[in-house]
Structure 1
Amino acid sequence: MAGPERAEPPAPRYPLESVDRTLSLLRQLADRREVTLADVRVHLGVGQSTAHRLLAMLVYREFAVQDPGTRRYRPGPAFAELGRAADAALDLVGTARPVLAALAGETGETVHLGALVRTEVHYLDVLESASTLRVASRVGQTRPAHATSIGKAMLAALDADTVRTLYPGGRLPAETARTVTELDALLAELRRSRSRGYARNRGEVEPGVCSVGVAIAHPARGLLGGLSVATPEARWSAATEREHVAALRRAAAEILDGIP
């Protein structure tokens, strides 16, 4: 059965037709749950060979499967993986929100919740400091994991071989003059982060910004995300760092207590 019609958002200024067709086809599969080659051809307004190639690629990447009897296409296992990832992110945000609020109140600084997507931190939620001089929200944005405390904390939750596969070239982009740009140096920093149980960032992603971060790692579900407290360098001190790390550890433990 077809799902409800969606209102079309404004198109981007420079659309990519091939990407648009693929995403439109994924939406069609999600809405109808089963499509034929002819359905796809009409839906996308393309020829049969183009529709067939698009479906073949989705089958190859496991976003679609084809019934050998009816020849119809249905959503594949990769669809379920995306759904589980989205549900996990929503569960994490919902569970973490009150903890994030308490953490922000305790530290008086900007606190972030994020998830690791390959080599990027995707910021899921934030509570900004009430101070006039504060670190701004990054919610909805991404930053390179190797330059942020929250990203390094999550990378440190992975083994060294896994981290190496994420950076096959061995060179890391520099965000500031303080950013680690060599994989070996990053691996050494991750070893230090594992040893002390948290990661640091002092002006590595933005000048004048310091932060500390911890991973949220579930014993059964693995790495779920990370937390960080960010402060302007003018307010940073070794004593402040210790206080923020203690607060982060309590917050991460409380979030994990709320996740089955």
Structure 2
Amino acid sequence: MTKSRTEPALSSVDNALQLVRLLAQHRALRLSEVADLLGVAPSTAHRLLNSLRTQGFAEQRSRNGPYCPGPVLEELGLASLNRMDVRQVVRPMLEQLWTATGETVSLGVLEGRHIRFVDGIEGNRTVRVGNRTGVLIPAHCTAAGKAIMAVLSEVEFDRRFAGRSLERRTTASISGWPQLTRELAAIRKAGFAMNVEEGENGVSAVGAAVRDLMGAPVASINVVLPSSRMGTKRVGRELAGSVLEAVAAASAALRDAG
């Protein structure tokens, strides 16, 4: 009798834990996808999702939209990340990117509504951008910041940026929310961000977000160079390939370290 009660309970717990892992991996899942991946009836999948949503492990941002990781799941990822030194884990990828490009490379993290560059290596070319470590710039004016902004959860994005004015640093800075919203959508589609003199005249960059073991963006890896060497979007896309390789390796290293 006890056994018959315990086994279904354990099965339910197992499905719930698998669902947490699936949400962390896929970042967005519809009810039908959850049912297929778990091999359960849609009614069971709906019950599991509702339980996770009640506890903050999942959220549904629109009535018929997909389910995404909730704030509790995001916080668990950040808690694990806080136990390690991101700079130490990502440093080998910065060095590899520096070797591949010869340009200045940097690691950025969000600090409020700004991006703080916490590590970097100065390029080895005669004309180059200096090491950015320690620099603090409004996130929307940088490739580093936009790359992270584009993939923040809706809850976290609103907490940091909703209703805020956009500082204009140069004539190229994005100063209106409609334009920034379009830009962030394009970044999500491409997987990387570009900045041409939006934060500083004469300086351009390409960046992409590094994700933790829960899939949340925690930093960005960036190539920073004089605008004279990034005269076309084609050049930016070529650099993006190297940046994305570094980001993939860094994200994998963070997952392993966590």
Identity of aligned residues (%): 30
Structure-2 residue corresponding to 1:112? 106
* Distance in 1 separating the partners of 2:139 and 2:78: 21
Structure-1 residue corresponding to 2:71? none
Deviations 1:103-151 (A, max 9, x none): 0110111111111122111111101101121111121221110000010
**Change in 2 beyond 3 A, CA 1:242/1:134:** same
Match of 1:250 among 245, 249, 252: 245
Which runs of structure 1 show a deviation greater than 3 angstroms over 4 or more consecutive aligned residues? 81-88, 159-162
Count of aligned pairs between the two proteins: 178
Deviations 1:59-83 (A, max 9, x none): xxxxxxxxxxxxxxxxxxxxxx998
Structure-2 residue corresponding to 1:158? 152
State the secondary structure of the residue aligned to 1:187.
helix
Which moves more between the two structures, 122-131 or 153-162? 153-162
Q: What is the root-mean-square deviation in Å for CA atoms of aligned residues?
A: 2.2
Deviations 1:5-38 (A, max 9, x none): xxxxxxxxxxxxxxxxxxxxxxxxxxxxxxxxxx
TM superposition shift of 1:85: 6.2
**Change in 2 beyond 3 A, CA 1:224/1:162:** closer
Indicate whether 1:227 and 2:228 are aligned: no
Structure-1 residue corresponding to 2:142? 148
Q: Indicate conservation of the 8 Å contact 1:167/1:183, yes or no.
A: no
- Map 1:3-82 to 2 at 5 A: none
* Distance in 2 separating the partners of 1:254 and 1:86: 19
**Which residues of structure 2 form unaligned runs of 5+?**
1-76
Q: Indicate conservation of the 8 Å contact 1:113/1:124, yes or no.
A: yes
Q: Indicate conservation of the 8 Å contact 1:170/1:182, yes or no.
A: no
* Distance in 2 separating the partners of 1:222 and 1:83: 12
State the secondary structure of the residue aligned to 2:105.
strand
State the secondary structure of the residue aligned to 1:125.
strand
* Distance in 2 separating the partners of 1:168 and 1:220: 24
* Distance in 1 separating the partners of 2:154 and 2:82: 27
* Distance in 2 separating the partners of 1:258 and 1:166: 27
State the secondary structure of the residue aligned to 2:183.
helix
TM superposition shift of 1:165: 3.6
Structure-2 residue corresponding to 1:202? 196
State the secondary structure of the residue aligned to 1:258.
helix
Which of these two proteins has the greater Rg computed from alpha carbons? 1
Indicate whether 1:186 and 2:218 are aligned: no
State the secondary structure of the residue aligned to 1:134.
coil
Match of 1:240 among 235, 242, 249: 235
TM superposition shift of 1:160: 4.8
Paired residue type of 1:234: S
Deviations 1:181-216 (A, max 9, x none): 122221211011101111110000001111111000
The alignment's TM-score, normalised by the length of structure 2, stands at 0.64
More helix per residue: 2
Greater relative contact order (Cα < 8 A, sep 6+): 2
Which moves more between the two structures, 248-257 or 217-226? 217-226
Structure-2 residue corresponding to 1:216? 210
**Change in 2 beyond 3 A, CA 1:238/1:172:** closer
Which moves more between the two structures, 180-189 or 234-243? 234-243
Structure-1 residue corresponding to 2:123? 129
* Distance in 2 separating the partners of 1:134 and 1:210: 11
**Which residues of structure 1 form unaligned runs of 5+?**
1-80
